[in-house]
């Protein structure tokens, strides 16, 4: 059975609404009954419950969808390479031998006594 589009979209809408409502709650006095501390105002705390519930719905429903999508993209290699192909290794072209001029510049000689 195919799921209706609203069941997929509503947690994201709730997450967006929660961001907007928390911004309004923290920056304005619209939802306050008293002028004291916000954390002691029962009306403000009751309004805070709504965005917390929306965030809870987002975390339960939308976050697994986002994680599943990210894991699918990671398994596919983000479309650049096949997931079964090993990563290509580039060879380092830097020489491991030191030239005699650089040894002489540092006061060392090329020959060593044993």
For 10-33, write each residue's pLDDT tens digit.
888 888 999 999 999 999 998 999
- From CA 56, how far away is CA 85, in angstroms rounded? 39
Q: What integer is the mean pLDDT of 68-81?
A: 73
Q: Per the structure block, which two tokens stand in for 54?
A: 């929306």
DSSP letter (8 states) at residue 33: S
Say what the pLDDT of residue 62 is. 75
The rounded distance, in Å, linking the Cα atoms of 28 and 66 is: 32
Q: Residues 44, 33: contact at Cβ < 8 Å?
A: yes
């Amino acid at each position: 059975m195919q799921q209706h589009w609203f069941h997929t979209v509503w947690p994201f809408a709730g997450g967006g609404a929660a961001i907007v409502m928390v911004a309004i709650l923290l920056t304005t006095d619209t939802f306050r009954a008293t002028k004291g501390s916000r954390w002691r105002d029962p009306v403000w705390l009751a309004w805070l419950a709504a965005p917390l519930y929306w965030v809870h719905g987002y975390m339960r429903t939308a976050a697994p969808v986002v994680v599943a999508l990210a894991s699918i993209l990671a398994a596919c290699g983000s479309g650049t390479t096949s997931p079964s192909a090993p990563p290509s290794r580039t060879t380092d072209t830097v020489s491991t031998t030191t030239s005699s001029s650089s040894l002489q510049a540092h006061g060392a000689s090329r020959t060593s006594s044993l």
